[in-house]
């Protein structure tokens, strides 16, 4: 779920447990890899859990990615490569994957990783009592076998295209979690993984701190500590960046364009810009009677000027889209026409649905009910708040009253999204590299903690989502996903607003940072700071 939140304080270098160390000419100045220093990044939202199979938000996912490993992962060329698995074979009928695990992996407590840990993780993903949104990727497994301590075999009931990629899920330690209730396990706040960093501490709403894993199987990371600071306001976070309280953040378009184009900033920081793998949308609670009529949803879509939002809020640093796939994906159907801004058509559709200004007060009503609803969005994301304000203004012009409620991140997910306590939501999705959208749009994925919280249901889309998972022919899959794109655009369960650019910034003392198709963090264990430029020691 790509809900990129971040957070913080004001203009003080954070120093809990570390001291600032000024560059010294006494230390050799060669620009060579050296262990040490800390990387401090900011987030508008705190993590919710550090159990990877429960981590549905990007804050939790980012930290889990440093603590845990999957069997496979994507490399910068968007190809799958081994992580905990050193190799694998796929049977000729495409139904069976045999994974061979590395033999040099240990959990952070020193216990060796074995095939039983992979088996345990699969069992938890399939446990109906575990509130994981990822079970859909494993429902097609016919049986899971442990061949020996370092070999597992997975047989699918039918061909399943995302099968290999699904094993990028973080693997859990059986010896620490067997017999525990994962939904309430203390492990979620004191995790033990196999990843490049070990958990140190978590001050809720303030800070998560990790330490380099000296025994990491791919080599000890150069950066000794990773600090994840919670600063629920983007302007405050930018002040922290300028005051050296953090080393990295995601810039807003305004910050990227107008507040970082000085010689002094460029000398100290490096900025990046690339298309994100996510989009922002206005989603409707389809169980709410107000939005059960597709004419109403299409009217609201026509009443929103998306180009106005992209130009005014993103300053042009984003793309329009017409459905649930990103414009540069092969699954995106460019033949689906965009819904143009047309307030006259919007009012016409609402009138067809029975909404008109009967009492001439400027607001639409129907059977004595005013057309009024509240959209919720998360605290700290200024772009979403500003987009909501523009939408509010445009809807008011056609007689629809929309209120805006901004909610702290953790409560937003646990109390409103998971419990379906909303009429409409302004949020974002981070998408996988494969266009499989089963977990987001299939009508079976509506339980608490799962991703279809809009309660979208279309029997043809359900069947096509299943077909798309079974078919290894990309041209046939393209036709399937184009049809899904058309149907979801027609049903309008959400207004697909924009796909923003990613705009990260990193302090220049960090070397080895490069932009790739999967972002800047892939080679993080190889980032380093030359010894004479290191700022933090214990």
pLDDT single digits (tens) 288-311: 999 999 999 999 999 999 999 999
* Mean per-residue pLDDT, 62-70: 97
d(CA 448, CA 430): 19
How high is the pLDDT of residue 170? 98
- Separation of CA 348 from chain center: 37
Tens-place pLDDT, residues 247-273: 999 999 999 999 999 999 999 999 999
Tens-place pLDDT, residues 181-192: 999 999 999 999
Tens-place pLDDT, residues 442-458: 999 999 889 999 999 99
- Name the residue with higher pLDDT: 173 or 519: 173
Confidence of residue 27 (pLDDT cuts 50, 70, 90): very low
Please say if the pLDDT value at position 483 is more than 90: yes
d(CA 537, CA 201): 17
Q: Report the candidate in 94, 158, 56, 68 with the shortest Cα–Cα distance to residue 467.
A: 158
Q: What is the DSSP letter of 41?
A: E
How high is the pLDDT of residue 358? 87
Confidence of residue 538 (pLDDT cuts 50, 70, 90): low
Please say if the pLDDT value at position 28 is more than 50: no
Share of the chain above pLDDT 90, in %: 86
Cβ-contact 247, 508 below 8 angstroms:
no
Cβ-contact 228, 43 below 8 angstroms:
yes
Q: What is the mean pLDDT of the chain?
A: 92
Cβ-contact 499, 276 below 8 angstroms:
yes
CB atoms within 10 A of CB 429: 21
* Mean per-residue pLDDT, 88-112: 97
Please say if the pLDDT value at position 167 is more than 60: yes
Compute CA distances 292 → 394, 404, 451, 495, whole Å.
21, 21, 19, 15
Question: Which helix or strand (DSSP H or E) is residue 396 part of?
Answer: helix 382-396
How high is the pLDDT of residue 30? 65
Q: What domains, with CATH codes, occur in the chain?
A: 19-67+195-273+503-537 (3.40.190.10), 72-177 (3.90.76.10), 278-501 (3.10.105.10)
Tens-place pLDDT, residues 375-415: 999 998 999 999 999 999 999 999 999 999 999 988 999 89
């Amino acid at each position: 779920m790509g809900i990129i939140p971040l957070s913080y304080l004001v203009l003080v270098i954070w120093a809990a447990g570390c001291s600032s160390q000024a560059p010294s000419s006494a230390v050799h100045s060669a620009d060579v890899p050296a262990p040490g220093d800390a990387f401090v990044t900011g987030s508008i939202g705190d993590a919710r859990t550090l159990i990877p199979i429960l981590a549905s938000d990007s804050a939790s996912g980012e930290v889990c990615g440093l603590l845990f490993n999957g069997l496979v992962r994507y490399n910068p060329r968007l190809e799958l490569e081994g992580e905990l698995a050193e190799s694998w074979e796929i049977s000729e009928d495409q139904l069976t994957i045999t994974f061979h695990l590395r033999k040099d992996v240990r959990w952070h407590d020193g216990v060796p990783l074995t095939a039983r840990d992979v088996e345990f993780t699969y069992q938890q993903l399939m446990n109906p009592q575990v509130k994981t949104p990822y079970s859909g990727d494993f429902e097609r497994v016919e049986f899971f076998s442990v061949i020996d301590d370092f070999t597992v075999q997975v047989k699918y009931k039918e061909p399943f295209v995302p099968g290999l990629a699904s094993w990028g899920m973080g693997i859990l330690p059986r010896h620490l979690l067997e017999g525990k209730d994962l939904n309430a396990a203390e492990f979620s706040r004191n995790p033990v993984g196999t990843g490049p960093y070990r958990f140190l501490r978590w001050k809720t709403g303030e800070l998560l701190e990790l330490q380099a894993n000296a025994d990491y199987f791919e080599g000890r990371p150069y950066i000794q500590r990773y600090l994840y600071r919670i600063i629920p306001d983007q302007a405050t976070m930018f002040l922290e960046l300028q005051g050296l309280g953090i080393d990295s953040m995601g810039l807003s378009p305004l910050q990227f364009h107008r507040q970082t184009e000085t010689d002094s900033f460029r000398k100290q920081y490096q900025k990046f810009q690339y298309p994100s793998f996510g989009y922002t949308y206005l989603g409707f609670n389809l169980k709410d009677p107000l939005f059960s009529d597709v004419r109403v949803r299409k009217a609201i879509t026509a009443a929103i000027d998306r180009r106005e939002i992209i130009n005014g809020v993103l300053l042009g640093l984003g793309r329009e889209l017409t459905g649930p796939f990103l414009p540069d994906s092969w699954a995106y159907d460019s033949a689906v026409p965009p819904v143009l801004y047309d307030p006259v058509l919007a009012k016409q559709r609402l009138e067809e649905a029975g909404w008109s200004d009967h009492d001439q007060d400027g607001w639409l009503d129907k059977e004595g009910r005013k057309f009024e609803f509240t959209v919720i969005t998360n605290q700290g994301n200024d772009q979403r708040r500003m987009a909501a304000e523009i939408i509010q203004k445009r809807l008011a012009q056609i007689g629809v009253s929309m209120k805006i409620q901004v909610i702290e991140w953790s409560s937003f997910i646990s109390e409103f999204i998971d419990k379906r306590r909303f009429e409409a939501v302004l949020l974002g999705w981070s998408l996988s590299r494969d266009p499989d959208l089963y977990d987001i749009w299939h009508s079976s994925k509506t339980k608490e903690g799962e991703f279809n919280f809009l309660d979208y249901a279309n029997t043809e889309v359900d069947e096509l989502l299943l077909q798309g998972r079974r078919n290894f022919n990309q041209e046939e899959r393209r036709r399937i996903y184009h049809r899904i794109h058309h149907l979801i655009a027609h049903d309008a369960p959400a207004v697909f607003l924009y796909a923003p650019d990613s705009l990260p910034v990193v302090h220049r003392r960090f070397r080895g940072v490069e932009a790739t198709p999967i972002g800047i963090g892939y080679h993080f264990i190889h980032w380093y700071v030359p010894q004479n430029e290191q700022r933090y020691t214990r």
